[in-house]
Chains A and B, each alone.
Chain A
Amino acid sequence: MPRLRLDVVLTLLVLAALALAPLLGFGANHYLTLFARIMILAAAAVSLSFLVGGAGLASLGHAAAMGVGAYAVAILDAHRLTDITIVLPVAIAAAALFSLLTGAIAIRTEGVNFIMITLAFGQMAFFTASSLAAYGGDDGYTLYDRTGIFGSRLMENRLFFHYLCLGFLIFCWGICAMLLASRFGRVLRAARENPLRAQAVGFAPYPYRLLAYVIAGTLAGLAGVLFANATEFVAPAYMSWQRSGELIFMVILGGLGRLSGAILGAVLFVLLETWLPSLTTHWKMIFGPLLILAVLFMRGGLIGFLGARRG
């Protein structure tokens, strides 16, 4: 039997804790809101980790794909189309199409220019959202209804929503892990390690990378659908480059190269971002230096840190 890795064990523990939390006295609304935020952002971070760690594509515009999913919910809501049978296909198609169009151009560039061009596409999405006067513009849009499930209002049930988010997080983790372990994932990694050699053995990286970019963007879009439902509100800020930066931070904080790292990173990030403001209004003066120290002294992120301590 293969030995379980520490980070996987830790992540499974976190997921188990999230599954049991509502049953163990953490069922109050403010807890469930916090958990939903953790799980949805963790799912988005996992899809980003797949992209950055797996395919070597460091996107600084991942929040935009998430925002496209959220805006699909908002725009349909404004036209009173709130059932999942419409919302889901439209959100998936919108996020996939957005990723396909931006990825087709962005993947032509490399390294820093890739970071910058994805940032630029993120900014375009941000300003597009700000210009949607009919759907709230700068101020954002408050949903009339959460997404209905085949006509029922199950999404309004807080416990159902909690387990839906948990299920989605596990789904994201599973599908990204499966993809990375597959032949497709091996080509991605080969292209990341040495594009020239990958090409020499007959795999042009471009279509593989583009597909990875579209898959990650679509998963982020789905996370956006959940996020819109969790907050019942959609705003251009969902697509800001700061949000993309936060997602990258979760990935790196947990440990790049391990999908489970993104989950641990997201948990730590959201907890810090919730707890620190209760200490002081100037909490960012603590958070900023923490970020710097984490980068300087925790190479390999949380997972690298734990691994180094153990061995």
Chain B
Amino acid sequence: MSTGLFLVQALNGLQLGILLFLVAAGLTLVFGVMDFINLAHGVQYMLGAYLGAAFAAATGSFWLGLLLALPAALIFGLLLEVLVFRHLYDRDHLSQVLATFGVILFLNQAVKAIWGAAPLQVPVPALLEGGVVLMPGLQYPLYRIAVLGAGVATALGLWFLVERTRLGMLVRAGATNSPMVSALGVDIRRLFMLVFAFGAMLAGFAGVLAGPIFSVEPGMGDHVLILAFVVIVIGGIGSIRGAFIAALIVGLTDTLGKSLMPDLMRLFLDPSAARQTGAALASMLVYIAMAAILAFRPRGLFPARSG
């Protein structure tokens, strides 16, 4: 593999990592503050992508689509919280897993009923068409660079919000010891609703950004959901910093693995077997990394919760 190709794959990996971070950030906070497993977080990403695509098609502008999709995703998140999730906070993890699994089934089928099973294509906005020359003879799409930039900017904003504001302090306190925060007079449910809605919007944002890169289709959230869970477990539940680092690890491992493993396998196997075995091994790498990290640090890299 040439340096140029490696550079492109590394950038793709970082960009997948950034998208994963946007999804995982909400997930890890919801998990950390309310000890609530939300499997439906992945479909919120999918919904963001669909809303973005639908609004963009209706208004004829990607930017208007993005602008409309964000509040829509937020409102939808609030709706789900009020209808389903708030009744599950005091239940055990398995009940939460099941009920939110039900939400996945419903929404995956609902988007199929509304938009059809075929993938939707979202055109890249005109402003970000074309590419950037990384090296002589090597172009990289401008849109992907923009996604990377938007993701990093959002991550920085989130870091500021969580680490440097009063609201963020409460969220961190809630992730460390929520009964104590509640005892000190903070309305933890209200705080949680805020975190939840914000997390839904971030996941939706990631979905809108992903629209022009990946195809928008039913079930697109499931794969991302599992990877986002891997991210928050590796990073340590409730930790934004952990989620960021783990998201980059997972994004790079997954993308580089997928392009390197088939080449590596070709040293041992014939080309067609190498392609299949390599691709499967590459898909496994992320989980192997997770199992290895949990075997040595059962609470993840940066656990937020005390004791």
In-complex Cβ contact of A295 among B88, B104, B272, B300 (8 A): B88
Interface of B (DSSP majority class): helix
Q: Which of A116, A121, A248 contacts B98 (CB 8 A)?
A: A248
Looking at A58, A127, A248, the one whose CB has the most chain B CB atoms below 10 A away is A127
Chain A residues near B279 (CB, 8 Å)?
131
Interface residues of A in 283-305 (CB under 8 A from B): 283-285, 287-292, 294-296
The stretch from B51-59, B164-172, B191-199, B283-291 touching chain A is: B283-291
Interface residue A109 (Cβ < 8 Å from any Cβ of B): yes
Chain B contacts for A113, CB-based, 8 A? 233, 294, 298-300
A17 sits at the interface (CB 8 A): no
- Contact A291 to B112, CB < 8 A, known contacts A117-B294, A130-B280: no
Q: Is A256 an interface residue (CB 8 A)?
A: yes
How many angstroms between the C-alpha atoms of A245 and B11 in the bound complex? 34
- Closest B residue, CB atoms, query A290: B102
B101 neighbours in A (Cβ, 8 Å): 245, 249, 291
Q: How far is the CA of A66 from the CA of B87 in the complex (A)?
A: 33
Does A110 touch B at the CB level, under 8 Å?
A: yes
Q: How many contacting A-B pairs (Cβ < 8 A)?
A: 134
Measured in the bound complex, the distance between the Cα atoms of B42 and A241 in whole Å is 14
Pairwise interchain contact A292-B93, C-beta atoms closer than 8 A:
no
Q: Which of B95, B281, B284, B299 has the most CB of A within 10 A?
A: B284
Does B139 belong to the interface (CB within 8 Å)?
no
CB distance from B198 to the nearest CB of A (A): 22
A131 contacts across to B, CB distance below 8 A = 276-277, 279-281
CA distance A268 to B300 in the complex (A): 38
Contact among B94, B108, B229 for A119, CB-based, below 8 A: B229
Interfacial residues of chain A within 95-144, with CB under 8 A of chain B in the complex: 105, 108-113, 115-117, 119-121, 123-124, 127-128, 130-131, 133-134, 137-138
> How does the 8 Å CB contact mask read for B266-307 relative to A, with 1 for contact and 0 for none?
000000110011011101100110110011001110000000
Contact: B102 with A282, CB < 8 Å?
no
Q: Which residues of B contact A133 (CB under 8 A)?
A: 272-273, 276-277
A-B contact pairs, 23 of them (CB 8 A): A109-B294, A112-B31, A113-B298, A117-B233, A119-B229, A120-B230, A120-B291, A121-B291, A123-B283, A124-B284, A127-B287, A249-B98, A249-B101, A252-B94, A252-B98, A282-B110, A282-B113, A285-B105, A285-B109, A288-B103, A292-B103, A295-B102, A296-B84
Q: 9 closest pairs, A vs B, by CB?
A: A131-B280, A288-B106, A291-B102, A288-B105, A284-B109, A292-B102, A295-B99, A120-B287, A288-B102
